[in-house]
Chains A and B, each alone.
Chain A
Amino acid sequence: MRAKKARRKGLLIDKGLYIMMIPALILVVIYSYGPLFGLVMAFQRYDIARGIFGSPFIGLENFRYLFINPNFPRVIWNTVFMSAMKLVFRFIVPIIVALLLNEVQQIRFKRTIQTVIYLPYFVSWVALSGVFINLLSPSDRFVNEIIKALGGEPIYFLGEPKVFPWVMIITDTWKEFGYGTIIYMAALTSIDPSLYEAACIDGASRFQRAWHITIPGLVPIMVLNGILSLGGLLNAGFDQVYNLYNPLVYSTGDILDTYVYRIGMQEAQYDVATAVGLIKSGVSLVLVSASYFTAYKVADYRIF
């Protein structure tokens, strides 16, 4: 009670609270808000010698240049296709695996499987690219040997434009699904066990119990997860694609982020690259806001 009274008088406002935040505020202003000013480059013919303040403004010329360039619409399509497929698989596979794991009665077996399936999540795409380049090369004895044994022709997985996006989608699912199951496994523990007991007494089969108790118990989290993931539609996975693609598969494998990197960092067209970045950020902002707003409305989700 005394504390409450004191707070009303404003006695408990401790300057220390503000001082603590200063380092974080300084860094966020410089490195998160600072780059926003650089976005004006998207409307300039940027000249390194003259800098942002001296370079001439050219209106929407950089954007026009992008859209008359046949590469750009293709890059957008590649990004959306790869990313949408990854979202679908990342959504479905963890749910199925969590349901299967939930049916396992031996705790130790269950835990071992869990630990093993989210191992790939912790390995960098750099190291994984080394793994997959080895594994998928036509000369390696695994995947292609198996295909040959089954009577097929060896496939150059990382060099064939038709196959490449699916290699990205499948390897991404492989890396992420185990980690994705954690959330569902945690949610499963919060389902009231008495529901299962009651169902048992009523003679419900295991399939019926899964269908009528477990799945409905997971629906709120499925909805929330699904909605929130939509905000990442333009993030098709730079680390993965950059480390596995090559000029042979640019036609289907090039995504927004790799495109920005190549024209910006390698060809030093800062202005055009920034224009691409601006388009991506703009669209992403709309998507993320919409998804978080929907999550707030549907699931009462709050960030803080």
Chain B
Amino acid sequence: MILHKTRGEKVFDLFNGILLIILALLCILPFIHILALSFSSSAAATSGKVAFWPVDLSLNSYQYAFQNPAFLRAFGVTLVRVILGLAIDMAITIFAAYPLSKSNGQMPGRTIFAWIFVVTMFIGGGMIPTYMVVTMTGLRNTIWALILPSAVKPFNITVLLNFFRQTPKELEESALIDGASQMRILMRIYLPLALPALATLFIFDTVFHWNEWFSGLIYMDMKANYPLQTYLQGVIIEPDFTLLDINEIELMSKISSKTFQSAQIMIATVPILIVYPFFQKYFVKGLTLGSLKG
């Protein structure tokens, strides 16, 4: 298409490229700094010698992190939460979105039901009343407090609903003539065709459950029940030594909290960073579907 570049264009391309590289570096260098800190000796880290490359390479911080029972427990809580939460969220989303993707003729009352879900995107009781409902339903101090109150995600339901609607009607009609039930039609026809949307929701829900920390903070009385991010929040923001047991205090005295923190930040972040590029092509598609329809 472009045959000849003028000199001005070449200069522009050069500057544009440099600018974009700087932007990308701005996004990634903070993480590289933390990564370098986590692999450095505590002396080098506290004296501020570490930039983007480890100084006095040391694996101590990671060793301590993985020997720290509180950290491992929190990691375990998060793993359980991600698996259970994903399974429940996806099932809820699919089984709510499918009926709502039907016409009012095929499913009387469909529009009203859809609004029942959508309205909750805009109104809610807020922090305190929600806290009280979670307490009243007995979820406090159980893993369900991290899962059930947020299991219905109206935004995800609308994304999938809109995706389902693009499936050609003829497929369903011929299946109905063959006597298939709606459940069967959903499983055999709609779900396989909705894979890009499902992959998008899957990755966002994984990120949600992995990163969410606030419900752990307010619904769990014991630190032992904290998910990883809530535990990490305690380590970074308000290191409370009364919460640590003797072993942990001993560990803390041996290594600088700076490298230890950095190692824990990396461990809590890297799994997500490994996963998301693989889903890139899906969520570009899914995102545009969810928020924009021509």
Binding site for B on A (CB under 8 A): 2-3, 6-7, 12-14, 16-18, 20-21, 23-25, 27-28, 30-39, 41, 97, 100-101, 103-105, 109, 112-117, 119-120, 122-124, 126-127, 129-135, 139-142, 174, 178, 182-183, 185-187, 193, 196-197, 200, 205-206, 221, 224, 228, 231, 238-239, 243, 257, 260-261, 264-265, 270, 273-274, 277-278, 280-281, 284-285, 288-289, 301-304
What are 26 of the A-B contact pairs (CB < 8 Å)? Answer: A16-B182, A18-B107, A20-B98, A24-B157, A31-B152, A32-B120, A34-B129, A35-B124, A35-B130, A37-B129, A38-B125, A104-B17, A112-B24, A119-B27, A123-B31, A126-B268, A129-B233, A131-B265, A133-B236, A139-B48, A142-B51, A183-B288, A239-B213, A270-B132, A285-B122, A304-B161
Once the chains bind, are A116 and B152 in contact (CB under 8 Å)?
A: no
Residues of B within 8 A of A25 (CB): 96, 113, 116
Residue of A nearest to B5 (CB): A206
Residues A243 and B116 in contact in the complex (CB < 8 Å), given A31-B152, A140-B48: no
Task: Tell me if B42 counts as interface (CB < 8 A to partner A).
Answer: no
| Smallest CB separation, A183 vs chain B (Å) | 6
Residue of A nearest to B235 (CB): A130
Once the chains bind, are A13 and B287 in contact (CB under 8 Å)?
A: no
Residues of A within 8 A of B277 (CB): 115
Among the listed A21, A126, A178, which residue makes an inter-chain contact with B236, where contact means beta carbons less than 8 Å apart? A126
Task: Tell me if B246 counts as interface (CB < 8 A to partner A).
Answer: no
Residues A113 and B128 in contact in the complex (CB < 8 Å), given A14-B182, A32-B152, A140-B48: no
| Smallest CB separation, B118 vs chain A (Å) | 6
Stretch at the interface among B58-66, B173-181, B247-255: B173-181
A40 to B100, CA, bound (A): 32
Residue of B nearest to A272 (CB): B128
Residue of A nearest to B120 (CB): A32
Task: Tell me if B237 counts as interface (CB < 8 A to partner A).
Answer: yes
Among the listed B116, B134, B237, which residue makes an inter-chain contact with A28, where contact means beta carbons less than 8 Å apart? B116
A14 to B213, CA, bound (A): 41
Residues of A within 8 A of B273 (CB): 119, 122-123
A156 to B272, CA, bound (A): 31
Once the chains bind, are B284 and A304 in contact (CB under 8 Å)?
A: no
Task: Tell me if B13 counts as interface (CB < 8 A to partner A).
Answer: yes
Residues A30 and B137 in contact in the complex (CB < 8 Å), given A36-B123, A239-B214: yes
Once the chains bind, are B26 and A174 in contact (CB under 8 Å)?
A: yes
Residues of A within 8 A of B265 (CB): 127, 130-131
Residues of B within 8 A of A123 (CB): 31, 211, 269, 272-273
Having A31-B152, A130-B236, A174-B26, one finds 20 other A-B pairs with CB under 8 Å, namely A20-B95, A24-B157, A32-B124, A35-B133, A36-B123, A97-B23, A100-B20, A115-B277, A127-B265, A130-B232, A131-B34, A134-B33, A134-B261, A239-B214, A243-B233, A261-B127, A277-B126, A278-B126, A281-B123, A285-B123
A179 to B133, CA, bound (A): 34
A111 to B143, CA, bound (A): 39
Residues A20 and B99 in contact in the complex (CB < 8 Å), given A120-B27, A186-B288, A260-B126: yes
Once the chains bind, are B13 and A103 in contact (CB under 8 Å)?
A: yes
Number of interface residues of B (CB under 8 A): 108
Residues of B within 8 A of A132 (CB): 30
Task: Tell me if B262 counts as interface (CB < 8 A to partner A).
Answer: yes
A206 to B10, CA, bound (A): 11
Once the chains bind, are A17 and B118 in contact (CB under 8 Å)?
A: no
Task: Tell me if B131 counts as interface (CB < 8 A to partner A).
Answer: yes
Once the chains bind, are B37 and A134 in contact (CB under 8 Å)?
A: yes
Residues of A within 8 A of B124 (CB): 32, 35-36, 281
A13 to B186, CA, bound (A): 15
| Smallest CB separation, A160 vs chain B (Å) | 19
Residues of B within 8 A of A288 (CB): 121-122
Residue of B nearest to A145 (CB): B48
Once the chains bind, are B158 and A17 in contact (CB under 8 Å)?
A: no
Once the chains bind, are A34 and B48 in contact (CB under 8 Å)?
A: no
Residues A39 and B102 in contact in the complex (CB < 8 Å), given A103-B13, A186-B284: no
Residues A104 and B20 in contact in the complex (CB < 8 Å), given A178-B27, A281-B123, A288-B122: yes
Which of A16, A101, A200, A228 neighbours the largest number of chain B CB atoms within 10 Å of its CB?
Answer: A16
Once the chains bind, are A100 and B19 in contact (CB under 8 Å)?
A: yes
Residues of B within 8 A of A285 (CB): 122-123
Among the listed B3, B99, B152, B211, which residue makes an inter-chain contact with A18, where contact means beta carbons less than 8 Å apart? B99
Among the listed A97, A114, A289, which residue makes an inter-chain contact with B122, where contact means beta carbons less than 8 Å apart? A289
Once the chains bind, are B229 and A127 in contact (CB under 8 Å)?
A: yes
| Smallest CB separation, A263 vs chain B (Å) | 9
Once the chains bind, are B13 and A39 in contact (CB under 8 Å)?
A: no
Top 8 A-B pairs, shortest CB-CB distance: A35-B125, A38-B129, A277-B126, A124-B211, A35-B129, A24-B96, A32-B120, A3-B173
